[in-house]
Amino acid sequence: MNLLEREILLVDKPAGMSSFAVVARIRRLLTEQMRAQYKKQGKTPPKRAKVGHAGTLDPFATGLLICLLDKGTKQAGDFLKLDKRYEATIELGKVSTTGDIEGEIVETFADYDSFGVPAATKIRSVLDAFRGEIVQTVPVYSAVKINGRRAYDLARKGVKVEMPKRKVTICDIKILDYHWPYLKIDCKVSSGTYIRALGEDIGKKLGVGGYLTELRRTEIGEFKIKDAVTLAECGIID
């Protein structure tokens, strides 16, 4: 794929790769293409191309990543406040240290008979309660800085800190599929919303706990996953 005339590239990020790693691979490809072009023109090429992204995804997550190329990196601020849409799968009945599959399971609600498996009607009622403006506690495993240090660095060292709270908006939320213990939801949320925290809070509200096993971003503002390309389609193969 020729990246030279693009300022925005929509990428379908694969699972198991950080957003930084995706950007690094695209930067390498764009740098190679720029060097080839500059060589033809008899010009001195830049040491490396400028590439960034507009909104990170956790390594286990997949889906829409807006990559900004060359002059497009100046547009980063235009994307930061856009609403986003996700599909998330929550495993109910368990709690993870990180709120997702990358953490350690630290609590299991094994005695389902004592409270009963939540019915779909109860789950819909709980989801309805999250619509609108809510207050979220930022996850301890996040990039937020606490006294100048990343929260996840402190968490990995066992340092306990009080995490900040944020007002966010859940524009829409609905069930896509439910077969205990797995609940798949679709949600459109404001910028700054942590879906891991939302999954945990849904589990708490149901009284059974929960953590994310899958997360896929499908929209950022008007940009949609159907218009994204894979790394393989870009010509990037590990």
Backbone angles phi, psi at 12, to 5 degrees: -90, 95
CA dihedral sign of residues 115, 121, 127, 131: negative
**Residue 78 a catalytic site member:** no
Q: d(Cα 92, Cα 117) in Å, to the nearest integer?
A: 10
Backbone angles phi, psi at 148, to 5 degrees: 85, 0
Are the C-beta atoms of 131 and 190 separated by less than 8 Å?
Answer: no
Residue ranges of alpha helices (H) inside the chain are: 19-41, 120-130, 151-156, 195-206, 231-234
Q: How many C-beta atoms lie closer than 10 Å to residue 17's C-beta?
A: 19
The angle formed by the CA atoms of residues 213, 133 and 64, to the nearest 5 degrees, is 40
Are the C-beta atoms of 94 and 109 separated by less than 8 Å?
Answer: yes
Bridge partners for 215 per DSSP: 88
193: amino acid identity, one letter: T
Q: d(Cα 150, Cα 152) in Å, to the nearest integer?
A: 5
Q: Which helix (H) or strand (E) holds 127?
A: helix 120-130
> 12, 58, 100, 201: which is the annotated catalytic residue?
58
Are the C-beta atoms of 184 and 177 separated by less than 8 Å?
Answer: yes
Active site residues: 58
